[in-house]
Amino acid sequence: MPKMVLTAAFVSLSSTDLSEWANKIELQTEVEEKDVTTYKSLGWKEILGGLKSGSLGLEFKQDFAATELDDIMWPWLGQIVPFVVRADQGSASTSNPSYTGNCLVKGWNPLTGSVGDEASVSVSFPTSGAVTRTTA
């Protein structure tokens, strides 16, 4: 059984590679459950898939220096931006699929933590429109 350890994942927002600050990526996609049960279902629940949605969760090591993470992210607050994520920095392939789409930068938490904590930022952005998977 193949196994993988994420050591060099890739994340890009608005064509900007943010991998050097990222230490966690979580792309979730789901489809709504729609109950279409009728009397003809003979007591068994029947469901169909409805609207699809997703979210892009990211965790970063914060950097406030000019042209670095906070300076990059702040202008995108409230904007829909394109994203690309892959399990590895390499190009998309059958063993390294690329997931792309758009997300709403609906929040930015520049400061979080207690005394002695590393400066990190955790965010979750809802996707907007289709999320696609490519292998080329």
CATH number at residue 75: 2.40.30
Task: Let me know if residue 5 belongs to a domain.
Answer: no
- Identify whether 89 is part of a domain: yes
Distance of CA 72 to the CA centre of its chain: 17
Q: What's this model's pTM, rounded to 2 decimal places?
A: 0.91
pLDDT grade, residue 101 (50/70/90)? very high
Measured CA to CA in angstroms, residue 128 lies from 18, 89, 106, 119, 134 at distances of: 20, 24, 11, 29, 18
Tell me, what's the pLDDT at 40? 96
Among 104, 131, 98, residue whose Cα is nearest residue 28: 131
Whether 32 maps to a domain, the answer reads yes
**Per-residue pLDDT tens over the stretch 52-98:** 999 999 999 999 999 999 999 999 999 999 999 999 999 999 999 99
> Domain limits at 49?
10-134
Task: Flag whether 112 is in a domain.
Answer: yes
pLDDT attached to residue 2: 81
Residue 1, domain member (yes or no) = no
Task: Provide the number of structural domains found in the chain.
Answer: 1
| Residue 1 reports pLDDT greater than 70 | no
In a domain, residue 4? The reply is no
